[in-house]
Amino acid sequence: MGIYSHILLGLDLSQDSDLVATKGANLAKLNDATLSMVHVIEPLSFAYGGDIPMDFSTVQEEIYRQAELQMRKLGSKWGVPEERQHVVIGRPESEIHSLAEELNADLVMVGSHGRHGLALVFGSTANGVLHGATCDVLAVRV
């Protein structure tokens, strides 16, 4: 048995996700660990607040549907069954923390763009996942 038994990949579904998934799948294989994947969609209302009086529900549903399709492709490529492919809506940091605890994951892997300064303060999901996680977090440089 390896160091880790359940690895959760936090994926943004950008082209960098394949690199994170590759490293995660290899680490899972080395540790004979279960591999799960999650993509978190931030609600459009978070981005626009209540300032724009529009119904974003159909747009949000299409974003969700497209994310599920992308997750299925990645899951198929890396042998992650659908029941361990998660697409959720919320704040990425808190949703990844919650799912990691629910799954009893002992490692969360996320991609990191290596931002500095204000970009790190205002935009780093990897940094947000690191702080507050109850398990190990591995940031993969992308």
- pLDDT tens readout for residues 70-91: 999 999 999 999 999 999 999 9
Confidence of residue 122 (pLDDT cuts 50, 70, 90): very low
pLDDT value at 2 more than 80? no
Residue whose pair of structure tokens reads 């981005």 in the numeric block:
47
CA dist 28 and 26 (Å) reads: 5
The 3-state DSSP class for residue 123 equals helix
CA dist 40 and 93 (Å) reads: 9
Average pLDDT over residues 87-107: 95
Residue 31 in contact with residue 5, Cβ under 8 Å?
A: yes
* pLDDT given at position 30: 95
Q: Where are the alpha helices (DSSP H) in 11-130?
A: 17-31, 44-48, 57-78, 92-103, 117-123, 125-130
The domain spans of the chain are 6-141
Confidence of residue 117 (pLDDT cuts 50, 70, 90): very low
Residue whose pair of structure tokens reads 């626009």 in the numeric block:
48
Q: What is the CATH number of domain 6-141?
A: 3.40.50.620
* pLDDT given at position 116: 46
Residue 119, judged by CB atoms within 10 A of its CB (0-12, 13-18, 19+), counts as exposed
Confidence of residue 127 (pLDDT cuts 50, 70, 90): confident
